[in-house]
Amino acid sequence: MSATTEVDKAAADQETDRPPRDVVATPLRLETRSLSRSVAGKVLVNDISVQIPPGEILAVVGPSGAGKSSFLRLLNRLDEPTSGTVALNGQDYRAIAPKELRRRIGMVMQTAYLFPGTVGANVAFGPLQCGTELSTQQIDALLERVGLPHYRARDIGNLSGGEAQRVSLARTLANTPEALLLDEPTSALDEKSARGIEELLLDIVQERHMTCVIVTHNRAQAARIASHAMKLAAGRLVAIGPAKEVLDAD
């Protein structure tokens, strides 16, 4: 399977199980237990055990190749652990169907992988897969929340990078995830667009009291967004704690 096809399938999987609900989901407690992943003899994630309390924003930092994105992908089984596991409110995530897991733990990637068509069709995609058609009012409300009023009929080919990332976020929020994974969500954007997405994410995570894990190479961004941070090096956890302490330790 090609990398693009794998990403498109993963994006579809995490957006297909359930329509949005009026009630905000209960915040999710994430826990990794001796989580590890190796590929072709190379250790990408090495025996990481952490607890992420409900509603916490955790930044994952470290040098290139430290295993940050590999760790993030393990949290909703986009990749399979070699050993160890992840627990959601104490439940081993291997007991949860992958589509349901990826609905509950939504993911926004560095590049917005949108489907051809209109903005509205992208936002409505997940609920439609389980037989529920969102109303235009529901779609408009989601787009309004991410700062894109009147965008429902716009073709995705006519979006800027920042607008596409906002649509990607709205599409993820359509399934009311209990936790949000962010993989360098602003690194491909200019500074103004990046700050706009950053502020939007912070507002939504706090508003919905969502558990959030963000991978970022930008330490200033991590300090602005996250309450806690963990530092990886060569796949190992080398520090975790209040963001300021971890980020100022170097």
CATH number at residue 119: 3.40.50.300
Range of the domain at 163: 3-247
- Longest distance between any two alpha carbons in the chain, whole Å: 51
Residues 90 and 32 sit within 8 Å (Cβ to Cβ)? no
pLDDT by position in tens, the chain (length 250): 444 444 444 544 444 434 444 445 567 999 999 999 999 999 999 999 999 999 999 999 999 999 999 999 999 999 999 999 999 999 999 999 988 898 899 999 988 889 999 999 999 987 777 677 889 999 999 999 999 999 999 999 999 999 999 999 999 898 889 999 999 999 888 899 999 999 999 999 989 999 999 999 999 999 999 999 999 999 999 999 999 999 998 6
The number of residues in the chain equals: 250
3-state secondary structure 130-179: CCCCCCHHHHHHHHHHCCCCCCCCCEHHHCCHHHHHHHHHHHHHCCCCCE
d(CA 7, CA 113): 8
Instruction: State how many domains the chain has.
Output: 1
Residues 93 and 30 sit within 8 Å (Cβ to Cβ)? no
